[in-house]
Every structure is written in structure tokens, then in C-alpha cells.
Amino acid sequence: MPVPTKRLVLAVCSLMLLAAACGDDDNTLQGAPLIEKSAAIEQGDAICASLVADVKTLVEQFKAEHQAPSNADARDFLVTTLLARIDRGIGDLHRLGEPTNDRVGFDEAILAVDEDLSALKTAVSADPIKVLNNPIPLFVTSAKPFTDYGFKECGKV
């Protein structure tokens, strides 16, 4: 097997530096669109309003069909139906793109709602019946960052 020479290593390093220099200088994910703050709020609020309404409807339907659900039934519903819908809604928020201005506040809200989703998943894992018998906490730590940013529906408790 041939041993790399200094010249080969220098050539590879030069190509890597050239590629890095030609790269995009902004901090957005490649392919993530830029969006105006007002559009992010408007579209985000529409996503959140739909998500909150769907969560309420799904829980009501499940409870109507299962008067006294077992732990397994509650977990199955929460994981396969409810958390899947919440995951999709939060994914839609992520796909809005990065606001052209005030990115920090937006990113704080998105990171906080990710933490809220993680906490909800942990709660479902620990006690699905308890989760089902209480209001579903979509915006616990994310309520303040969303409302501070200007959202009206996202963060609404």
C-alpha cells in the first residue's frame, strides 16, 4: 500500500481550504430558506393553531372511544397518533426557515419547543395515563420565547 507523500497531503488540504473558502458564509442550514419575521410569525401561528386544535380533537376522540384505557392503549395512542401529530407540527415550524432579522429569538423559541416535546415524550414513557388525563403540555418552556418573539398562537397555554 503506498504511503501518502507530503505533496499529496498538501494538495488535499489545499482543496479542502478552497472548498471552505467558496462555501456559504451565512450561518443558515444549507437549503434553509430565509423568511421575513412577520411571515414567520404568521405562518408559525397558523401551524400552532392547527396543531393545538388537532391535539384537542385527537384526545377527545380517543377518550370518547376508550372510557377506561389500559396503560398499553394510552401509550399506543400517545406514541403512534398524538406524538406523531405533534412531531409533524414542530417539524413544520422548523421548516419555516430562518427569519432574516431577529434570528436569536426565533431560534430560542424553536429550541425550547424541542425541549417541550422531549419532556412530553419522557412523560408519556413514564406514565401515559397521567399524560392522557391532564392537559397536553405543548408550550411549557417555549411559551415565553414564542410570545416574546411576537407569536400569538405558538406559546399560547
Give residue 48's domain range.
Answer: 37-149
Q: Residue 57: pLDDT above 90?
A: yes
Among residues 53, 72, 85, the alpha carbon closest in space to that of 156 is found at 53
Instruction: Quote the number of domains for the chain.
Output: 1
pTM of the complete model: 0.78
Looking at residue 21, its pLDDT comes to 46
Q: Residue 132: pLDDT above 60?
A: yes
> Average pLDDT of 106-117?
96
Q: Residue 8: pLDDT above 50?
A: no
On whether residue 55 sits in a domain, the answer given is yes
> pLDDT, tens digit, for every residue of 84-96?
999 999 999 999 9
8 C-beta neighbours (distance < 10 Å), count: 11
On whether residue 22 sits in a domain, the answer given is no
Looking at residue 18, its pLDDT comes to 45
